[in-house]
Amino acid sequence: MQLPIAAFAALHAGLVLVNTSPLYTATEMAHQWRDSGAKALVIYADLAPIAAQALPQTDIAHVFTTSAMDFHQLQPAHDTIAGALSLPACWQQAEQEALQLQPVSLTPDHLAALQYTGGTTGIAKGAMLSHANLLANARQVLVRLGDNCREGRDLFIVPLPLYHIYAFTVTRITFFARGSHNVLIPNPRDLPGVIEQIKPFRFTGMAGLNTLFVGLCRLEAFRQLDLSQLRLTISGGTALTSAAADIWQRTTGCTISEGYGLSETSPVVCLNPIRQEQLGTIGLPLIETELKLIDDNGNTARHEGELCVRGPQVMQGYWHNPEETAQVLDQDGWLRTGDIATAAKRWWPIW
């Protein structure tokens, strides 16, 4: 719960988000925070000991800790870092001092987030995503979803880490923009726990991965749920397998729409049209998105080659790394993804 609160608060205040994986080692944390120039940290209290090892190597001056029980009546003591404040303490201080948000002047091209990615080299780099990038991608996805994401009427299950670009844009921004109720699942590896958490809801949508789809469908408790309202299932992050798509549709009656994207494109580039999916493809490009294939010499290829993308969701570049930016982003706005693609032999009906 606290991550969306902190993220939207930061964006509203004109700050730049640096999403960090809780699975990072202290060394990985230190690199990301030092490279980004981060000045403040909001962190789950259980991770405070790891963060404490990284902080001396960074410019972070303000630390805020949070726990699962924050903002509830019973609040446990936090494992803390010297000088850190808990989020509830900050909230109370703001109320006591009647602090007011100072309006900031932002344009769509202002930087919103640094989404770290290995890209094509394996070296962690910050993809510079502007407010325009993120909002454009949310709008592009909503156009593709159409009536399958309805204003204020849908309930989505989100068993994905919100620090990852997939959930960051697709659920935290896109579904939220439609006023959808998002049910956040803290530990999707605990399948019985997931079922208990979603049991009270007649959910209309879910985003996930192969292992989750297959694992849930194999459990009788999941098959006994009321799945009559499920109308949208999205897969991303890895190629959807035919086994996962088949068992999910047989169990739930809902098809899975596979998409494709990367951190550098905010992230969605392509998404299969809902209920017109072609298994084994990444789908059609979103609106305002251009694709082309190139060969090893950079020439346009007809059938197979490196996939290049141009559109409003493409990043501004890599943070403080013009050399790497020049390797993947040309002056005409084409991004080289590093992924090999094959042109589809047949296309969907006109829609």
* In contact, 207 and 171? CB cutoff 8 Å: yes
User: Does 267 sit behind a cis peptide bond, omega within 30 degrees of 0 on the bond before it?
Assistant: yes
Ordered strands of the 300-301 beta sheet? 300-301, 290-294, 304-310, 335-342
Distances (CA, A) of 305 to 138, 301, 341: 28, 6, 6
For residue 66, give every residue at least 6 positions away whose Cβ sits within 8 Å of its Cβ, in sequence order, or none: 2, 6, 42, 43, 44, 45, 78, 86, 87
Integer distance in angstroms from the first to the last C-alpha of the chain?
A: 38
Distance CA 329, CA 67 (A): 40
Instruction: Provide the CATH topology of domain 111-342.
Output: Rossmann fold (3.40.50)
Report the pLDDT value the prediction gives residue 69, as an integer from 0 to 100: 76
Distance CA 78, CA 95 (A): 21
Report the pLDDT value the prediction gives residue 92, as an integer from 0 to 100: 82
* Residue listed under structure tokens 């990985």: 28
CA angle, residues 147, 148, 150, in degrees to nearest 5: 65
Residues of the chain with CATH 3.40.50.12780: 111-342
* In contact, 62 and 22? CB cutoff 8 Å: no
* In contact, 123 and 320? CB cutoff 8 Å: no
- Residue 60 tokens read as 């972070």
Highest CATH level, class, for 2-96: alpha beta
Cα atoms in the Cβ-side hemisphere of radius 13 Å centred on 242: 3
Per-residue pLDDT tens listing for the chain (351 residues): 788 889 999 999 999 999 999 999 999 999 999 999 999 999 998 899 999 999 999 999 999 998 877 766 555 556 578 888 888 888 788 888 888 888 899 999 999 999 999 755 667 899 999 999 999 999 999 999 999 999 999 999 999 999 999 999 988 899 989 999 999 998 999 999 999 999 999 999 999 999 999 999 999 999 999 999 999 999 988 899 999 999 999 999 999 999 999 999 999 999 999 999 999 999 999 999 999 999 999 999 989 999 999 999 999 999 999 999 999 999 999 999 999 999 876 654 433
Distance CA 134, CA 118 (A): 20
Q: pTM to 2 decimals?
A: 0.92
Report the pLDDT value the prediction gives residue 351, as an integer from 0 to 100: 37
- Residue 44 tokens read as 């789950």
Report the pLDDT value the prediction gives residue 163, as an integer from 0 to 100: 92
